[in-house]
């Protein structure tokens, strides 16, 4: 798979992720943020596992990267309650912006620590432009940031950056779909206690089931398979920066479906993010092979 196509797959995954905050906002009041995260992992993990069984994908147990799989599962298990709780406390737009907006810098640091890959000028320019754009999306006259929610969002960003970094190791040894199924099934197991700690009656309604299926199948199973597949030919730090398409999607959905306000500064911020994504995605023929396979 060439680099350009991989970047497009990451953008598609990010757009799907961008719908998670809106989906949570449309859930019933009984649906606790941690419970929603646990349900998302359970549906996503089981969907991926079922797909692998149907396709009769084989797993070479001897070559499984146990440590990366464990770290990835723990990261995803931590990401769910942190992200959904941040969205509740800060709002869909702010929570998503801070979580994904903080991830590129953290991923760049981890990429250097784990793979000894120094950030390129192109990545630095695109990342900082995108982050400035994300910050502009948050500027509102009446905005009040919940400090605890902000901390949770940054924690979610760190979890996502950590997952992306170790996932590079996983896709070297196993099929991306198999790897994703193992990670999310394990993460779902880690969150099993949440099923007994929170009210799950909201799942019985059509609205609850629809949200669970959307979060599990589309924003988890499909999105992370696309993302993991793309990681075979794209650096982890580049992938996380491209994921800035997620907060833009969340912001636009918040404006058009949840009635959140929109200012000229917000529009300029969205334009900056789109510009950074276009710049990072564009790869002239002479540089298609510059992405290093790790």
Q: What is the pLDDT of residue 243?
A: 81
The CA distance from 243 to 18, in Å, is: 9
Residue 112 domain-assigned? yes
The CA distance from 27 to 5, in Å, is: 34
Contact 18, 10 (CB under 8 A): no
Nearest in space to 73 (alpha carbons), one of 171, 163, 170: 163
Q: What is the pLDDT of residue 279?
A: 67
Q: For all residues of the chain together, what is the average pLDDT? A: 80
For residue 276, pLDDT beyond 50: yes
Residue 294 domain-assigned? no
Residue 96 domain-assigned? yes
Its domain, for residue 90, covers 3-24+32-281
The CA distance from 120 to 175, in Å, is: 28
Of 51-65, 86-100, 183-197, least confident by mean pLDDT is 86-100
Domain count, the chain: 1
Residue 288 domain-assigned? no
User: Can you say whether residue 99 is alpha, beta or left, with left for phi > 0 and alpha for psi between -120 and 50 degrees?
Assistant: alpha
pLDDT tier for residue 285 given thresholds of 50, 70 and 90? very low
Q: What is the pLDDT of residue 242?
A: 82
Per-residue pLDDT, averaged over 235-256, amounts to 78
For residue 289, pLDDT beyond 60: no
Q: What is the pLDDT of residue 281?
A: 61
The CA distance from 53 to 83, in Å, is: 30
For residue 210, pLDDT beyond 90: yes
42 Cβ contact list (under 8 Å, min separation 6): 188, 191, 216
Q: What is the dihedral of CA 86, 87, 88, 91, to 10 degrees?
A: 120
Residue 44 domain-assigned? yes
């Amino acid at each position: 798979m060439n680099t350009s196509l991989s970047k497009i797959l990451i953008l598609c995954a990010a757009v799907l992720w961008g719908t998670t905050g809106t989906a949570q906002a449309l859930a019933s009041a009984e649906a606790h943020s941690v419970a929603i995260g646990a349900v998302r992992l359970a549906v996503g993990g089981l969907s991926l596992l079922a797909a692998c069984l149907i396709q009769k994908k084989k797993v070479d147990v001897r070559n499984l990267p146990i440590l990366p799989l464990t770290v990835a599962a723990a990261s995803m298990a931590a990401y769910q309650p942190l992200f959904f709780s941040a969205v509740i406390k800060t709002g869909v737009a702010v929570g998503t912006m801070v979580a994904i907006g903080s991830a590129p810098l953290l991923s760049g640091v981890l990429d250097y620590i784990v793979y000894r890959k120094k950030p390129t000028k192109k990545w630095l320019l695109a990342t900082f432009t995108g982050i400035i754009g994300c910050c502009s999306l948050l500027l509102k006259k009446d905005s009040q940031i919940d400090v605890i929610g902000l901390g949770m969002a940054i924690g979610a960003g760190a979890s996502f950056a950590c997952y992306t970094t170790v996932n590079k190791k996983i896709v070297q040894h196993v099929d991306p779909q198999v790897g994703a199924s193992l990670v999310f099934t394990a993460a779902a197991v880690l969150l099993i206690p949440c099923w007994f700690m929170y009210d799950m009656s909201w799942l019985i309604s059509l609205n609850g089931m629809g949200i669970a299926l959307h979060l599990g199948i589309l924003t988890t199973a499909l999105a992370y398979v696309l993302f993991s597949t793309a990681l075979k030919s794209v650096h982890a730090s580049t992938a996380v920066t491209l994921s800035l398409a997620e907060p833009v999607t969340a912001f636009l959905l918040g404006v058009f479906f949840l009635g959140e306000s929109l200012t000229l500064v917000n529009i300029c911020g969205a334009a900056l993010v789109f510009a950074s994504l276009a710049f990072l995605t564009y790869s002239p023929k002479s540089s298609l092979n510059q992405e290093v396979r790790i």
